[in-house]
Structure 1
Amino acid sequence: MSVTPLKALPLDQLRERTSAKWRTYPDDVLPLFGAETDFPLAPAITRSLTEAVRIGDTGYTGPDPGLRAAYAGFAQRRFGWTPDAARMRSTCDVIMGVVEVLRAVLEPGDRVIVTPPVYPPFYDGIPEAGGVVERVPLRDTGEGWELDLPGIEAALSGGARAVLLCNPHNPTGTVHSRGALAEVAAIAARYGAVVVSDEIHAPLTQPEATFTPFLSVSEDAARVGFALVSASKAFNLAGLKCALMVAASEEHTALLHAMPAEVEWRTGHFGALAAVAAFAPESDPWLDSLLAALDENRRVLADLLAAHVPGARYRIPEAGFLAWIDLSGLGWGENPARRIRREARVALHHGPMFGDEGAGHVRLNFGCAPEVLREAVERIGALVRS
């Protein structure tokens, strides 16, 4: 059955927003940086938040807002996995959850593997937790990216104590295979290490790919792993501050429950209300429509780049609304986003922020109207021609 793609809101309406995407740069700049999207909220979320405002339900987050059960149901419907709601705990956002989990399992100075190019806050969260970043870059196969399993094993055998995964991967949009994840789990189990899997982009996996929750992969994964999940990326709820830390073993569940109460008190009340609505079956059709819109945009972007920026190298992502684009062939230096913003008036995320592998790259947010995407790429194309 075909799904009608969700329509993005018009630019004049979007510019009424006061979030970072719409207040960081002047109105003549098209903002395609960051991870906010331009679509209307899922109707169930709008109703939930509107009713909360109507009755003044703006206090502290309750002890059981239904968040854990809602996510368990969502994961079962969307991923074929039913995590145990009793093995979850909420907090403010995914990176805060990463920090708290790492703080619970690391000794000061322990090394934590990241797989660049990767989400920039990983580089800050690990030191905040007392760890040291160890880089094991993704491998470029020529057709896509994959985890460097021998590199991960070498780092763990050399004393690294944890792996911080991004699955699906930001910025490449790679959905790591079940086999690769199972091997990471086996390697971690062999060396007594922990795997923390950031799965915030999982709901945005396109139909031709299969997202595999790390904790569901194997007994090893359940024993060594934690997952961090949130509705914030798929449903555009980042400002409402709500995420879940998920365990699958008795030992890791005990670690979650031993965290200070303040870790859970940081959960935003509106974030919890919105996430319950997002994870409800009622919001599944909205999510399907969003995926259809993003599917169109990721393919339109490939055509636009080929027509207007022929020196760009771009692989259509398997998940998310973020495009990782190599512009190193244009000779615009290590950080081409600076020139693009200054001269083309298009704001993109700076590639070098994702690690050394980001030199010459930009990250573009295509969670917008097709006409906005076209205008942005045409502006960059004009800069190429000049």
Structure 2
Amino acid sequence: MEQYFSEITERKNTRAVKWDLVKTLYGADDILPMWVADMDFKVPPAVTEALVNRAKHGIFGYTYTDKAYNKIVTDWVQYKHQWAIDNGWILYSPGVISTLNIAIQALTEEEDKVLIQTPVYPPFYNIVQNHNRALVKNELIYKDNSYQIDFEDFEAKLKEGVKVFILCNPHNPVGRVWNRSELEQILALCKKYHVFILSDEIHADIIHEPNKHIPIASLDEEMLHQTITCMSPTKTFNLAGLQASYAIIPDQEIRKKISQAFEKQGIHGINTMGITALEAAYTEGKDWLHQLMLELNRNIDYVMKELSRLEEVDVTKPEGTYLIWLDFTKLNLSQKELKKFLEQKAKVGLNDGVTFGEEGTGFMRMNLAAPFQLIKEGTDRIRRAIEERKG
């Protein structure tokens, strides 16, 4: 299995966003892309085999999910997160962002206040603003290369009439896995001010020891019915292009409301290949996931070691996800200059920090889900470019 992760698979000319849009996005062909959050690892062999066998069947008519299929999901959530969820709480959708958009439409009205914690995954802004909801920001506190929640500000914002809080856990891009104490404080405040929680937990399976992911809805029986938890195998097993996710909605009335909103938007679960891949991944992908975590930790250790040697770079070690948040503010470059420097001098394509909010100015996000050889090459390019800049 270890050799399986060291193989570099050619992804160019496969319509891969990460690789085939390099010149479009960065202006040159010789940029090493380390940005969009998919992996350069092949999926578990069992998933490939299941998809091939399904394709060989040759008929792709309408498919469905049922209680027997739901059990695959409930078993996985119990296995990974020790959360016993009911078989009937699950609704499927093409993606977490689709679910969050629908939920905002179904649970709020125009001009209602929706809170996010910044810097954060760029679509969170669109989810709020595209539906004419009022965006409220609770800026995370950045100190000593780590992030904390500003609970004083969090409560002050909730007190102003926030209707919905969108939680990102593990947090993208800063890599925090919110601990039990933090989650309990969030729950207590949301309960106090009657705020509904939409919890994006798409990275929940990718947690680095000794951290532990705790689904926020699992901690409070009352808030269980005021929370929608969004999960998916897509980040865990590199299935993003197959568009398979699910929402865990314990409250019957809210589940009915979201289901009706899905119907209005013409969303009818997940496609045949997504159904096939989810089942194979969750039932036969455990060994693959174990090896993935070993590879990711190797990559994280290398990036931390190499870039931490530079006075000009501070690195936030991820507690979860396969993404790493890099602080380049000590280079004293504008964001435009920083982006140009990394693309033209280091020849790497990272995610621009400001796309996660103004709090990301001076930062970049790097994707570490690739064979070590590629991670080493990208990291070394950044290090060499900074060392050459110093002369």
Alignment match, 1:317:
318
- 1:44-68 CA-to-partner distances (Å, cap 9, x unmatched) read 2111111111112433342439553
Q: Of the candidates 210, 222, 225, which is equivalent to residue 223 of structure 1? A: 225
- For the Cα contact (< 8 Å) 1:8–1:38, is it kept in 2? no
Instruction: Give the CA RMSD over aligned residues.
Output: 2.0
Match of 2:11 among 14, 34, 37: 14
Assess if the C-alpha contact under 8 Å between 1:31 and 1:346 holds in 2. yes
How far does residue 338 in structure 1 lie from its aligned partner after superposition? 3.4
Decide which of 278, 294, 303 is 2:281's aligned counterpart. 278
Change (3 A) 1:54 1:363: same
Could you tell me which runs of 5 or more consecutive residues in structure 1 were left unpaired when the two chains were aligned. Answer: none
Distance 1:219 1:149 in 2: 22
Partner secondary structure for residue 234 of structure 1:
helix
Q: What pairs up with 1:340-379 in 2 under 5 angstroms?
A: 340-379=342-381
Contact 1:4 1:292 in 2 (8 A): no
Corresponding pairs, count: 381
Q: State how far apart, in whole Å, the 1-side matches of 2:208 and 2:139 are.
A: 24
Show the counterpart of 1:49. Answer: 51
1:89 Cα offset (Å): 0.5
Q: Is the 8 A contact 2:145 2:315 kept in 1?
A: no
Counterpart position of 2:83: 81
Contact 1:88 1:256 in 2 (8 A): no
Q: Give the Å deviation of 1:73.
A: 0.7
Q: Could you say if the C-alpha distance between residues 129 and 58 of structure 1 is closer, same or farther in structure 2, counting changes exceeding 3 Å?
A: farther
1:304 Cα deviation (Å)?
Answer: 1.7
Match of 1:121 among 120, 123, 128: 123
Note closer, same or farther for the CA distance 1:263–1:152 as it changes in structure 2 (3 Å cut). Answer: farther
Shift of 1:6: 5.7
* 1:200 partner SS: coil
- Relative distance call for 1:5 and 1:181 in structure 2 (3 A) is farther
Normalising by the residue count of structure 2, what TM-score does the alignment of the two structures yield?
Answer: 0.92
Contact 1:311-1:327 within 8 A present in 2 as well: yes
The aligned residue for residue 330 of structure 1 is: 331
Identical-pair percentage:
27
Q: Deviations over 1:320-353 (max 9, x none)?
A: 1100000011123124233311332210000000
Query: Displacement of 1:206 after TM fit?
Result: 1.6
| 2:240 maps to which of 238, 241, 247 | 238
CA–CA distance in 1 between the matches of 2:201 and 2:365?
19
Change beyond 3 A, Cα 1:128–1:134: same
Cα distance in 2 between the residues matched to 1:264 and 1:83: 23
1:139-288 pair list within 5 angstroms: 139-142=141-144, 144-261=146-263, 262=265, 264-265=267-268, 267-280=270-283, 282-288=284-290
* d(CA) in 1 for partners of 2:3, 2:314: 26
- Kindly provide the CA deviation profile for residues 100-146 of structure 1, in whole angstroms up to 9, marking residues without a partner as x: 11111101111111101100010111223442211101122435212
Gap change, CA 1:316 and 1:381, over 3 Å in 2: same
Deviates more, 1:327-336 or 1:39-48: 327-336
Post-superposition shift, 1:174?
Answer: 0.5
State the alpha-carbon separation in 2 of the partners of residues 244 and 359 from structure 1: 33
The 1:180–1:263 alpha-carbon spacing in structure 2 relative to 1, beyond 3 Å, is: farther
**C-alpha distance after superposition, 1:222-276 (max 9, x if no partner):** 0221111111111111111111111122333332333343554152321222112
Distance 1:36 1:65, change over 3 A: farther
Q: Quote how far apart the aligned CAs of 1:217 are.
A: 1.2
From the superposition, tell whether residues 158 and 284 of structure 1 become closer, same or farther in structure 2 (CA, over 3 Å): same
1:180-221 Cα offsets, whole Å, 9 max, x none, are 112212211221210100000001012310100111011233
Q: Among residues 10, 35, 38, which one is paired with 1:36 in the alignment?
A: 38
Residues 61 and 265, structure 1, Cα contact 8 Å, conserved in 2:
no
Cα pair distance change 1:268/1:160, threshold 3 Å: same
Determine if the alignment matches structure 1 residue 97 to structure 2 residue 95. Answer: no
SS at match of 1:219: coil
Report the more deviating stretch, 58-67 or 45-54.
58-67
Q: Distance in 2 between matches of 1:19 and 1:339?
A: 25
By how many angstroms is 1:164 displaced? 0.4
Q: Quick check: 1:297 aligned with 2:294?
A: no
